[in-house]
């Protein structure tokens, strides 16, 4: 039996500009867009693949040219300067909060690609001569394109504006949160949510309580099980939608609800959403006269989730192998913060 090789997934394509996005060198001559470049950029965007720029050019001049061509909006966190491109790519990955190994870099210069190969060997380097076949590369062809993916660029653009305003806000963090008018919705996962749900289970980030992973088939089975509740969390505010930012899996029995999964996107780390979701689950468990128990598997990254449980009123019961069991032993309802509206559609 042949062994199947897992295809790497590219989350962001970083473009050079001169003789890559356009023909010619911007500082020396007039430039024209490469043939078919706009359909390629738009198709990548529709597939949920983010795009950015790493170009040795004058920033204002290059951005004005991208705007003139009507494609400036497709590039987030563009790095247009005279520094090393490896530095620019590292910064792009950090700002988007993705791994270096999920970047692809397109440049016409062998020297620039070699510099990336040496400094950042995890990056997929692509010769600008191969642009015409770019959309056929398996790394840039996700099997399923979710609604979340199609809106990914807009979600990031909204987040950029949100973070810029937050950095300029003069006052306590909670006062800024009040200005956002956030709305959190917990709802039963539907079939259309399952790919996004699976994607969340694969994230081993700071806001993943257990790290359990499930296939789409297993997740679908949970949606049909009377003994489980699979919930997705959507968040929006005055700037727009954050998308589906969380996943909850509850295993139900007569006397207790066991929280098997609590996973949140790192993009909402500073919003206190973990505590808000736990408060709502606590109140729901009290309304249903059951005890809420949570599983937690500590890693070198997710201590913040443990702290969130403790601050939400959970007490550690025992540790079985690697699994820490936590229980909400109080009978007190938790007050949802005034800065957020929580809706439950289950």
How would DSSP label each residue in 304-344?
HHHHHHHHTTEEEEEEETTEEEEEE---PPPPPPTTEEEEE
Between 2-11, 123-132, 224-233, 285-294, the lowest mean confidence (pLDDT) is in 2-11
**78 vs 144: CA distance, rounded Å:** 27
Contact criterion met (CB below 8 Å) for 168 and 222: no
Helix (H, G, I), strand (E, B) or coil at 15: strand
pLDDT at 204: 61
Q: Which residues contact 331 (CB under 8 A, 6 or more apart)?
A: 286
**252 vs 227: CA distance, rounded Å:** 5
In this prediction, residue 6 has a pLDDT band, given cuts at 50, 70 and 90, of low
Residue 315 has pLDDT above 50, yes or no: yes
Helix (H, G, I), strand (E, B) or coil at 2: coil
Query: Can you name the residues that pair with 246 across neighbouring β-strands?
Result: 233, 264
Span 316-325, average pLDDT? 94
Pairing between β-strand 314-320 and β-strand 291-296 as defined by DSSP bridges: unpaired
Nearest to 285 by CA among 332, 321, 318: 332
**85 vs 105: CA distance, rounded Å:** 10
Span 145-154, average pLDDT? 88
In this prediction, residue 145 has a pLDDT band, given cuts at 50, 70 and 90, of confident
Q: In a 10 Å sphere around its CB, with 0-12 CB exposed, 13-18 middle and 19+ buried, how is residue 275 labelled?
A: middle
CATH code of domain 173-345: 3.40.630.30
**92 vs 103: CA distance, rounded Å:** 9
Return mean pLDDT, the chain: 93
Structure-token pair, residue 177: 């949160």
Span 16-32, average pLDDT? 95
**CA 247, 239, 204 angle in degrees (round to 5)?**
30
Give the architecture (CATH level 2) of 12-140. 3-Layer(aba) Sandwich (3.40)
Between 120-124, 201-205, 340-344, the lowest mean confidence (pLDDT) is in 201-205
CA gyration radius, the chain:
23
- Whether the model clears a pTM of 0.85, i.e. scores above it, the answer is no
Q: In a 10 Å sphere around its CB, with 0-12 CB exposed, 13-18 middle and 19+ buried, how is residue 240 labelled?
A: middle
Which secondary-structure segment (H or E) carries 196? helix 194-201
Span 248-276, average pLDDT? 92
Contact criterion met (CB below 8 Å) for 338 and 178: yes
**37 vs 41: CA distance, rounded Å:** 6
Residue 86 has pLDDT above 90, yes or no: yes
For residue 257, the 8-state DSSP code is E
Long-range contacts of 37-45 (CB under 8 A, 24+ apart): 37/131, 38/69, 38/70, 38/71, 40/131, 40/134, 40/135, 41/71, 41/74, 42/74, 43/135, 44/13, 44/134, 44/135, 44/140, 45/74, 45/153
Query: Can you name the residues that pair with 10 across neighbouring β-strands?
Result: none
Instruction: Name the residue ranges covered by the structural domains of the chain.
Output: 12-140, 173-345
Sign of the alpha-carbon torsion through 72, 74, 77, 80: negative
**294 vs 300: CA distance, rounded Å:** 19
Residue 1 has pLDDT above 60, yes or no: no
Count other C-beta atoms under 10 Å from residue 34's C-beta.
16
- Number of helices (H) and strands (E), helices first, in the chain? 11, 15
């Amino acid at each position: 039996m042949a062994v199947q090789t897992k295809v790497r997934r590219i989350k962001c394509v970083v473009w050079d500009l001169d003789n890559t996005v356009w023909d010619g060198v911007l500082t020396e001559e007039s430039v024209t867009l490469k043939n078919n470049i706009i359909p390629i950029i738009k198709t990548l965007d529709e597939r949920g693949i983010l795009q950015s720029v790493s170009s040795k050019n004058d920033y204002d001049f290059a951005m004005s040219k991208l705007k003139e061509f009507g494609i400036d909006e497709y590039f987030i966190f563009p790095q247009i300067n005279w520094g090393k491109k490896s530095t620019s790519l590292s910064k792009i990955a950090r700002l988007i909060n993705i791994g270096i190994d999920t970047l692809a870099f397109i440049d016409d210069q062998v020297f620039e690609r070699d510099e990336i190969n040496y400094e950042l060997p995890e990056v997929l380097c692509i010769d600008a001569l191969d642009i015409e076949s770019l959309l056929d590369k398996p790394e840039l062809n996700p099997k399923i394109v979710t609604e979340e993916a199609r809106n990914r660029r807009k979600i990031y653009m909204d987040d950029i504006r949100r973070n810029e305003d937050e950095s300029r806000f003069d006052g306590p963090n909670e006062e800024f949160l009040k200005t956002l008018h956030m709305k959190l919705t917990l709802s039963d996962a539907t079939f259309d949510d399952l790919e996004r749900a699976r994607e969340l289970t694969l994230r081993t980030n700071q806001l993943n309580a257990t790290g359990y992973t499930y296939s789409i088939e297993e997740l679908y089975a949970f949606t049909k099980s009377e003994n489980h509740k699979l919930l997705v969390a959507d968040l929006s505010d005055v700037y727009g939608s954050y998308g589906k930012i969380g996943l909850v899996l509850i295993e139900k029995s007569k006397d207790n609800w066991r929280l098997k999964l609590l996973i949140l996107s790192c993009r909402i780390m500073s919003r206190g959403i973990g505590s808000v979701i736990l408060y709502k689950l606590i109140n729901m468990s009290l309304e249903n006269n059951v005890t809420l128990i949570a599983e937690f598997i500590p890693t070198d990254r997710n201590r913040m989730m443990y702290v969130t449980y403790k601050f939400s009123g959970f007490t550690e019961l025992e540790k079985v192998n690697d699994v820490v069991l936590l229980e909400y032993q109080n009978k007190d309802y938790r007050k949802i913060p005034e800065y957020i509206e929580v809706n439950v559609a289950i």
